[in-house]
């Protein structure tokens, strides 16, 4: 049976790394803290995100709600778009009969807003985000997604395509084979060091799935 794909959104389909660095640097500047580079960000970003803010000199214990709101407000104000090959990859998967859904750590209303702006919602059976801005985990929502997809995925090999070690961990916890993509929120070196397959592009990730034995 044809594989089924669960996609991450931020950093995977959505190319928002530069926007994230811009948002963080705006927050750091407002607090009189040193700014960071794109390379530093990709070498240090991880889930849950709260400790990352502490390492940058912010005080999540005192202003966690403001940190979350500021980041997402500034992220939305920064230029961002889906990766150049996102639509091609999604079309390739669809044309080969692969079902597709999204599982994201982004709050549900923001996820629907952003996927709507990108014009890609029609590719997916389900689009699942979380109910908060904490950037902690999406595993619980992943189980909800599997329950919603129960009939669609029965007997189908399941793959999770993402850009971070957390995506791989969530994928494995859900019984999916992780396929990670370079160019997102974590460097390829970090992903490869953990032993995961890392594709150079979204299309390469889909092609990798298509060549796997059923």
* Secondary structure (3-state) at 182: coil
Residue 133 confidence class, pLDDT cut points 50, 70, 90: confident
Nearest to 86 by CA among 9, 180, 17: 9
SS3 string of 15-41?
A: ECHHHHHHHHHHHHHHCCCCCCCHHHH
Residue 149: DSSP 8-state: T
CA distance 140 to 149: 14
Per-residue pLDDT reduced to its tens digit, 49-86: 999 999 999 999 999 999 999 999 999 999 999 999 99
| Predicted local confidence at residue 137, as pLDDT | 80
Instruction: Quote the distance between the C-alpha of residue 75 and its chain's center.
Output: 15
Cα separations (Å) of 88 from 84, 123, 207?
8, 11, 12
The answer to pTM > 0.85 is yes
């Amino acid at each position: 049976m044809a594989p089924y794909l669960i996609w991450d959104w931020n950093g995977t389909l959505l190319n928002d790394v530069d926007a994230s660095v811009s948002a963080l640097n705006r927050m750091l500047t407002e607090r009189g803290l040193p700014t960071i580079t794109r390379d530093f960000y990709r070498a240090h970003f991880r889930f849950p995100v709260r400790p990352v803010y502490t390492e940058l000199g912010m005080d999540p214990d005192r202003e966690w709600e403001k940190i979350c709101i500021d980041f997402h407000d500034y992220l939305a104000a920064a230029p961002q778009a889906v990766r150049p090959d996102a639509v091609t990859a999604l079309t390739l998967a669809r044309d080969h009969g692969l079902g597709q859904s999204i599982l994201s750590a982004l709050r549900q209303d923001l996820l629907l807003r952003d996927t709507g702006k990108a014009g890609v919602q029609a590719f997916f059976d389900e689009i699942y985000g979380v109910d908060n801005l904490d950037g902690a985990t999406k595993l619980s929502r992943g189980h909800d997604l599997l329950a919603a997809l129960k009939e669609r995925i029965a007997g189908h090999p399941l793959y999770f395509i993402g850009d971070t070690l957390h995506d791989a961990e969530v994928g494995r916890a859900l019984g999916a084979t992780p396929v990670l993509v370079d160019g997102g929120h974590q460097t390829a070196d970090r992903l490869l060091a953990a032993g995961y397959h890392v594709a150079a592009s979204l299309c390469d990730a889909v092609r990798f799935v298509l060549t796997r034995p059923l």
